[in-house]
Structure 1
């Protein structure tokens, strides 16, 4: 009897964790933080991950490039953006 892992179905329009696999460790850490904590601002991500703000900015841009992170303006402060992971 063999144990198989559950498979995740991905469509061509939805990137999965495979898209994150080749990214730098900082991008993976930011993605995991978004997965566990939910939507966050850049400053919240920097505080949560203990990464410098510049590194978080770079990680977010890489995650946006591969289409696994979505951003929108914060309702509380329009100067800030809120980032959300779009992988399930």
Structure 2
């Protein structure tokens, strides 16, 4: 671990797999899918996980509460958000 990573880890309380451990199975599944697919929209996550859109929304909100995912607006469609896992493996 570099010095900058150590500083970042100390500054940010969340962002580890430990934070995901106590979350519902749907949130764990969404986190794992993001780990393997880098950046995805909510619709892509629902298609990949085979979970209902409502369940994916709930999983995303729980992951955001734990600061383990980042979100940004899509450049191609500003109505959509793209999600990325914010856990260093």
- Per mean C-alpha deviation after superposition, the further-off stretch among 47-56 and 9-18 is 9-18
Give the alignment's TM-score, normalised by structure 2. 0.85
Q: Which runs of 5+ in 2 are unaligned?
A: 1-5
Kindly indicate which of the two structures has a greater share of residues assigned to helix: 2
Question: 2:43 aligned with 1:38, yes or no?
Answer: no
Query: How far apart in 1 are the matches of 2:58 and 2:22?
Result: 15
**Deviations 1:9-63, CA, capped at 9 Å, x for gaps:** 7823152000000000000000000000110000000000000000000000000
Q: How many residues align?
A: 80
Q: Which runs of 5+ in 1 are unaligned?
A: 1-8
**Larger Rg belongs to:** 1
Q: What is the root-mean-square deviation of aligned Cα atoms in Å?
A: 1.4
- Report the counterpart of residue 4 of structure 1 in structure 2: none
